Structure 1
Amino acid sequence: MVEEILALKKRGLTIKQIAEEMDSTVGKIQYRLRKLQKLDQKSSFKKARVQVTSVLSPRNIPSSYELDRIVLLPQGPHTIYAYWDLKAITRNMVAHHFTKSWSDLNKKLRVYDISDLHFNGHNCHLYFDICLPEMTDNWFINDLEENRTFIIDFGIQPDSSEFFTVLRSDPVETPRTEGGSMRHSEGVNRWKSGDQKSPEWYEQFSTYSIYSLLK
């Protein structure tokens, strides 16, 4: 019946003319056409879904975007998530420098606490290293102190050699816990009350956060 309706519709007949031709009612013809339309929509949706799934398949996600960068995302007062990417030419240059294949180099993250400092690569409050397994491009850094500013380097440290920085992140600050106090709350109160002529933290004020917004 549907095939006959479509054939008559293709000839240019109206719904009323098709109903008369098939000795049926307009309502029945409309019902058949609506049902056919729904089936077509479902079929189109399934095809589109298959196409989208194919596009988003992990097999189609590149292993590298050919960018030299390391990005930090605070995940809470005590955790930062870091992910990074390296250009092939950068990996090749580093491997050539150390005369080793990239896979044979010892890769590390170096985490610096630079709270209230103009960081020059050395003058941090403290730092610690994280040894990375091969083929790693992201890491969760846990057990950090809240309300502190951190910078993280991705680098190489050959045996008995100094740490060689390959990538350096922008600074990020871990948030305070609920009810926690600001790092300079006492100094702010002394300044506001007039006991201090200028903010105590002014000389060590870090411009990193402002700089990162202006870049």
Structure 2
Amino acid sequence: MSLIPTQALSAHPNDRDTLHLLVQSWAHVFAYWQLSSRKMKMVQDHFGTDWLLLQPTLRFYEAPEQAAGSHGTANVSELPLPPGPCCFLSGFLSGRHYFAELGIKNDQGHFLPLLRSNTILTPHIHTNQEIPSNELTPNNLVTYRPTAVSIELVTSKTYEHFSAYSVYLPKSAFPANTEFGGDID
């Protein structure tokens, strides 16, 4: 028996189910997603309510090394699905395996997964590489030991006055006798 991919059932080839994680640094991850219109409609019809009222959620799992890619997990963090199709996230630990699920919360508050991402490995932090091993002492040994994992959405600053080339201030922000060289309107 062969399975038919979800995108094969859609009228649009770019309307597919996707949840993917990309490592940016040891503590930062970029996530992007797309829930096919077919699956979103199916979920809304099943629960009889609008998509946003279903509390769309991203859930992140830290997978133990021996269980990377399996269903065994050590730590779980979640956040409401940010608006748009992607976001940057921070709060990951170095040298750990992570994967994510996009889902909704039902009336009882239970998480119902709809999509699962790839499993990533965050890079290791090597803070002691420049110190020869025969010179290691408690004074020069640096160890990173966070107390808890807390994944957060990284928000960017919005610039009201932005062109394709730079951030600028409008003429009205300067005194009337200021001369400008070039077009800044």
Counterpart residue number, 1:126: 75
Matches of 1:180 and 1:81, distance apart in 2: 27
Residue ranges of structure 2 left out of the alignment (5+ in a row): 1-12, 130-185
Counterpart residue number, 1:171: 119
Counterpart residue number, 2:16: 67
The answer to whether the 8 Å contact 1:117/1:124 transfers is no
Matches of 1:167 and 1:180, distance apart in 2: 39
Matches of 1:152 and 1:168, distance apart in 2: 6
SS at match of 1:176: coil
Counterpart residue number, 2:38: 89
Matches of 2:64 and 2:121, distance apart in 1: 8
Cα displacement (A) at 1:180: 6.5
Question: Aligned letter for 2:45?
Answer: H
Q: Map Cα deviations across residues 123-164 of structure 1 (whole Å, 9 max, x no partner).
A: 31110111124x432122211100000010011013423101
Question: What's the C-alpha RMSD, in Å, of the aligned pairs?
Answer: 2.1
**Could you say if the C-alpha distance between residues 127 and 180 of structure 1 is closer, same or farther in structure 2, counting changes exceeding 3 Å?**
farther
Q: Map Cα deviations across residues 83-132 of structure 1 (whole Å, 9 max, x no partner).
A: 001211010011112221223220111000003133553x3111011112
TM-score, normalised by the number of residues in structure 2: 0.57
TM-score, normalised by the number of residues in structure 1: 0.49
Matches of 1:115 and 1:139, distance apart in 2: 25
Q: Which has the higher contact order (CA 8 A, sep 6+)?
A: 2
% identity of equivalent residues: 26
Q: Flag the structure with higher helix content.
A: 1
How many residues get paired? 116
| Residue of 146, 150, 160 corresponding to 2:98 | 150
Q: Flag the structure with higher strand content.
A: 2
Question: Aligned letter for 2:108?
Answer: S
Counterpart residue number, 1:99: 48
